[in-house]
Chains A and B, each alone.
Chain A
Amino acid sequence: MGVVVLAGTRKGLFLLESDEARREWELRGPFLTGWMVFHAVVDPRDGVVHAATNNDVYGASVHRSADRGESWTRAEELGLPEDSGLTLEKAWHVEPGRPGEDGRLWLGAAPGVLFRTDDGGETWAPVDGIVRHETRERWYPGAGGMCCHSIALDPDEPERMYVGISAAGVFRSDDGGETFTPANRGTAADFLPDPFPELGQCVHKLLVHPARPERLWQQNHCGVYRSDDRGESWERLEGNGLPSGFGFPLALDHRDPDAAFVVPEESSENRVTPNGRLGVYRTRDGGASWELLTDGLPQPAWGAVMREGFSSDRLDPAGIYLGTQSGSLFVSPDAGETWLEAASQLPPILSVEAAEWS
């Protein structure tokens, strides 16, 4: 069994491959040259690599490769209907469907839109439940555009899914993606007149825990949060070891629902590592306390980690993967205890995903 890390960069996609020890890494690429790869993922159902790709001249697309990056096919149909008044700006995140949902994947994109494919990525249909959401006029773009960057599927309930959009907030669907309702109670929007509105929150990353799907974790513009009731309510978690509630990336330990990893930044106004210390903050008690993990990471370092630049694998112990804007890919094969630099001097890393392939 091998492990692959997909590092999407501003200048194409790189693949890093290793064995289960995850200590020696071999770099391949770049693939998709000329494209900014906002996110790339291996579909665990068939091994196909899907990439959300963007180009300043040629727009947004989704590419897929059935041969581990050697050749790529571009989506045939991807766009927004004219009567929506919207045009596609950026492709942000590809989320494979569940086992048994053959051919189905989801794509989050800007301006705050969601697509679904049922043919493995050849044609993508806009999801009206988000594209025509009744509250859309109250959504505003964050600094990175109005991006739908998080798509979280409940692994046990085929009708339940969540999306995170900046700055519209978290939305949940209980009918397979037909309709979505805001799920932001308890999350702050300090930049709005009402700091706890129904929607308008700037969620930065949203994940559902695969072993306890009623539990969600969220890194927000205004704090780190956990929900134990499918997003009905949220509890703010920082102030107990975290130097800042501001940050973008978030990762989970697939075996331990009480564990989460974040990489905070000093503040919204100064988006660098707090005190120049590049490190991962880990909780193992549901967010009650956080510890800083830096063993093997360079110090000092004012690196920035993008919202998709952080991920975990499903091995035991969990591997944690961190890609920086300065082009380094750091790997921890032991759930954050120690780190090694698997690659350096890559283009700025936008996204990191880990997968197993045989």
Chain B
Amino acid sequence: MVVVLLPSLLAAEAGGRRRFELEAPTVGEALRALPVANLVFDERGALRPLVNVYVDGVDARDREGLATALTGGEEIRLVAAIAGG
């Protein structure tokens, strides 16, 4: 079981729910199980470039990205990169 924490806009799109607990073998699988997966990924299934994913505080890009294996107990935090105006 891992925990996924959403930023406020994604939580609003998930019916107000900010915290998800789910079973998934990888970071990518965990994110694809979210009800907001089509906001996190584009239509090709690619992680949108301004969505940052932290696994226990470490940027997933510094590990193995979406393929980063989960053993259970991790906390995955989605953070919108600073952009826009």
Chain B CB within 8 A of A82 CB = yes
The complex places the Cα of A59 from the Cα of B13 at a distance, in Å, of 13
Given known contacts A79-B42, A87-B43, A88-B42, is B9 in contact with A59 (CB within 8 Å)?
A: no
A 194-222 to B, binary, CB cutoff 8 A, 1 in contact else 0: 00000000000000000000000000000
Interface residues on A, range: 10 to 19
The complex places the Cα of A56 from the Cα of B40 at a distance, in Å, of 12
* A57, B48: Cβ atoms closer than 8 Å: yes
Nearest CB in chain B: distance from A306 CB, A: 16
Given known contacts A55-B9, A58-B39, is B44 in contact with A87 (CB within 8 Å)?
A: yes
* A33, B84: Cβ atoms closer than 8 Å: no
Chain A CB within 8 A of B71 CB = no
Cβ < 8 Å to B, chain A residues 34-87: 34-35, 55-59, 61, 74, 76-80, 82, 87
Nearest CB in chain A: distance from B44 CB, A: 6
Point out the residues of chain A lying under 8 angstroms from B67, CB to CB: none
Point out the residues of chain B lying under 8 angstroms from A87, CB to CB: 42-44
Point out the residues of chain A lying under 8 angstroms from B83, CB to CB: 56-57
The complex places the Cα of A78 from the Cα of B40 at a distance, in Å, of 13
Interface residues on B, range: 10 to 19
Max chain B Cβ within 10 angstroms of own Cβ: one of A58, A76, A87? A58
Point out the residues of chain B lying under 8 angstroms from A35, CB to CB: 9
- Tell me if A's interface is mostly helix, strand, loop or mixed: loop
* B13, A74: Cβ atoms closer than 8 Å: yes
- Tell me if B's interface is mostly helix, strand, loop or mixed: mixed
Point out the residues of chain A lying under 8 angstroms from B8, CB to CB: 34
Nearest CB in chain B: distance from A125 CB, A: 12
Chain A CB within 8 A of B2 CB = no
The complex places the Cα of A145 from the Cα of B83 at a distance, in Å, of 18
Point out the residues of chain A lying under 8 angstroms from B84, CB to CB: 55-57
Point out the residues of chain B lying under 8 angstroms from A78, CB to CB: 38, 43
Residue of B nearest to A34 (CB): B9
* A58, B40: Cβ atoms closer than 8 Å: yes
Point out the residues of chain B lying under 8 angstroms from A77, CB to CB: 38
Q: Which 10 A-B pairs have the closest CB atoms?
A: A79-B43, A56-B84, A58-B39, A34-B9, A57-B50, A57-B80, A56-B83, A74-B13, A87-B42, A80-B43
12 contacts between A and B (CB under 8 A): A34-B8, A56-B50, A57-B9, A57-B48, A57-B84, A58-B10, A59-B42, A61-B38, A61-B39, A74-B39, A77-B38, A79-B42
Interface residues of A (CB under 8 A from B): 33-35, 55-59, 61, 74, 76-80, 82, 87-88
Interface residues of B (CB under 8 A from A): 8-10, 12-13, 38-40, 42-44, 48, 50-51, 80-81, 83-84
Excluding A57-B48, A57-B84, 20 further A-B contacts by CB distance (< 8 Å) are A34-B12, A35-B9, A55-B84, A56-B83, A57-B50, A57-B51, A57-B83, A58-B39, A58-B48, A58-B80, A59-B42, A59-B48, A74-B13, A74-B39, A76-B38, A79-B38, A80-B43, A82-B44, A87-B43, A88-B42
